[in-house]
Structure 1
Amino acid sequence: MYYPFFRGKQFELTTITNLSDELINSGKIIPIVEPVSNNRDMKSHFPGFVEKNLPLILIVNPFYPRESPLSITEVESLFISPNYSYSNLIPAILINSNTLTRAEQGFITRYRDKPITFIHFQELSNTQWILGELSHRAKKTLHVFYDGKISQTYQNIFKSRDKIILRDCFHTQAKNANYPPDEFFSDLYFNYQSLGYSGFSDFSIVGDSFGKGGRAHAVAIHFVYPEKTPINTSNIRIAHFLSDTNGSPTNPGGKYIEALGKLISFVNQNPRCNFGKGVAEFRSNHNQSHFPGLGVVKKISMIHHMELIFQIL
């Protein structure tokens, strides 16, 4: 099972909305969403999630933005409504401190008779309260552990069989021009079970970073692909297709077309990469010399990533 982690920006929410019904209903992929910035975008996309009854894990205590994160009450208001029932939504608590707040403890207690997810970005200094609470829960409890930040000793405290490994597979660079042409991305999809987990998670082609960005001199298209065939025995690699005219931040549309030409040539030479809505949308942009905006470009790359995982699992 794959749990892609999204930070709830506009283009990420659109990515989820645009997933095919086949992928949504496959039972192979459940997005995790941490709503950030404001809840306007979440409110605009939420009816679409409800209509599809999209399997979704929603973090109710987001960490970003650090200055003014949404409160549990604000996020909870999204899915508590007399107008609809969202049976496939599972709320999640993000543990990003060594203690739980009273509001977080209150939420966990209120949802004692419902499924819940705990996402461990930090280790609790005292696990007595949460272990006591877990002992009263009859519903499924999922634990997501951030690889490299959470020790195995801490993970072993939680006896649930439903444990997910979260790993940041994307090596973020300060400048787009610094990305290498190609690098290893992940092999989690075929070794998460041997590591003792029931599923795996990552931050797709965005990485564990939160920023508003800026005007870049170079445009980069990040494209994951199977290293070889058959694809379900292959490492996943990532190619970074860069524009050529990178002397100034002007003309991002022209730079996108430059980078896109390289991507299309790569796909044409590697038929194992030629599938799905993501590649079809890149081809459409190339055929029409169309620049949809950098946020949409990220959306297309993320859709392609999830389609690849769907093909593999």
Structure 2
Amino acid sequence: MYYCFLRSKRFELLSIRKSADKINESNISIILEPVKNSFNEIQKTLSKINPNNFIFIINPKVGNLKNNDEQLIQLTKNLIESNSSLIVGLNVDHSYNFLQIQNWLNMFNQSKFVLIHSGEIRFDTKLINQQEQIIKHIFYKDSVEDYYINQFSKDKILLEDNFKRLKRNYDYQENRIEFFSDAHLNYKSKGYQGFGNFSTIGNHFSQNGGQAYTSAFHLTFNHTDNDIFIKHCLSKPRTYHENIGVLNEELLEDIHSVIQNNIGLLTWSSACQELEDMYQKKNFSYHLGTLKSLSIQHHFELMHLLKIKGVY
């Protein structure tokens, strides 16, 4: 099973809602880390996804709600009140003790939990294995050792950051196409019950971003032997600020060229259909967040395609 880790920003939530049918059909799980108290947006998103495949993190590591237990508890209670099947996600690492975990379990004693290991807990893991509320474990790749993972008895999912983020969009010019992931092909042979990533945006988080010199769009695709590669579409590389409308037009032209050279994308990717429609209508006034949403949406559609083809 594929697990997609996203945060509760507007455009991430929009990509989930627009892909909901394919997410549900291919049994994709959403891991959502709340970064602001946007209950209505989160609830609207949850209402479209199978709640058994929706993990809501109660202790985010980034964003405005970090360390704000009072707001997070109320937000989670409100979500559970509207959908009792919601799964609670709990970030744990070496700083967490068993009493803290037990307090969360007791607070939501009717809910199922998933532990998300961004580091190794330092108490007897048998205490965790004995907790029936905890149904799965998600492990950050390269943050925990194999011997640690093997101590847990429930389903295990390996979470990777497959997106190679560069400091400047300009730098993607050096490597326009690169390997993204083959986890969907080998996760079972490595002893996992699922695999996960941060879609096409990676684990990097920032509250705000300024205008870039070069605009970028990231498109995943099925490559030889069913590996997943990623294509970086760019506006013309430059080292000075240009009018955003110019950047948007150049970027959309590059995206159009990629789609035309891979016309089969239009048969299954509604995100690519929307991008092509924007190009034909010369819609160059779009928000860059729209492109980020479409990039994530397309990746959901790719994972759906590979699932229904039986690739994983």
TM-score by length of 1: 0.88
Tell me the SS of whatever aligns to 1:4: strand
Partner in structure 2 of residue 227 of structure 1: 223
CA displacement at 1:3 relative to structure 2: 0.8
Confirm or deny that 1:261 pairs with 2:257: no
Query: Percent same amino acid at aligned positions?
Result: 30
Q: How far apart, CA to CA, are the structure 2 residues paired with 1:9 and 1:245?
A: 28
Is 1:287–2:280 an aligned residue pair?
A: yes
- Following superposition, the deviation at residue 109 of structure 1 comes to 3.1
1:34 aligned residue: 33
Q: What corresponds to 2:86 in structure 1?
A: 89
TM superposition score normalised by structure 2: 0.88
Match of 2:144 in 1: 150
Runs of at least 5 residues in structure 1 that lack an aligned partner in the other structure: none
RMSD value over aligned CA atoms? 2.3
Residue 75 of structure 2 corresponds to 78
How far does residue 288 in structure 1 lie from its aligned partner after superposition? Answer: 1.6
1:119-198 to 2 correspondences below 5 Å = 119-126=116-123, 128=124, 131-137=126-132, 139=133, 141-160=135-154, 162-179=155-172, 180-198=175-193
Partners of 1:82 and 1:174 in 2: CA distance = 37
Distance in 2, matches of 1:178 and 1:247, equals: 11
**Is 1:18 aligned with 2:33?**
no
Q: Please state how far the C-alpha of 1:6 moved relative to its aligned partner.
A: 0.6
Letter in 2 for 1:178: D
Instruction: Indicate conservation of the 8 Å contact 1:245/1:255, yes or no.
Output: no
- Could you tell me which amino acid in structure 2 is paired with residue 31 of structure 1? I
Rounded to whole Å, the distance in 2 between the matches of 1:245 and 1:49 is 36
Q: 1:273 and 1:203 mapped to 2: Cα distance?
A: 22
Letter matched to residue 167 of structure 1: E
Counterpart of 2:106 in structure 1 is: 109
Residues 190 and 133 from structure 1, CA distance in 2 versus in 1: closer, same or farther, beyond 3 angstroms? closer
Superposed displacement of residue 61, structure 1: 0.2
Q: CA deviation at 1:249?
A: 2.4
Supply the distance in 2 between the matched residues of 1:101 and 1:209 (Cα, whole angstroms). Answer: 29
Aligned partners of 1:198, 1:31: CA distance in 2, in Å? 15
- CA deviation vs aligned residue, 1:8-32 (integer Å, no higher than 9, x gap): 22211221222232x1432521110
**Is 2:42 aligned against 1:49?**
no
Is the CA contact 1:226–1:273 (under 8 Å) kept in the aligned structure 2? no
Q: Which stretches in structure 2 are left out of the alignment for 5+ residues?
A: 308-312
Q: Number of aligned residue pairs: give it.
A: 300
- Structure 1 residue matching 2:201: 3-state secondary structure: coil
Tell whether the 8 Å contact from 2:236 to 2:250 is kept in structure 1 after alignment: yes
1:299 to 1:53, Cα distance in 2 relative to 1, 3 A: closer
Deviation, structure 1 residue 97: 4.1
Q: 1:296 aligns with which of 266, 270, 290?
A: 290
How far did 1:245 drift? 5.6
Dislocated runs of 4+, deviation >4 Å: 101-104
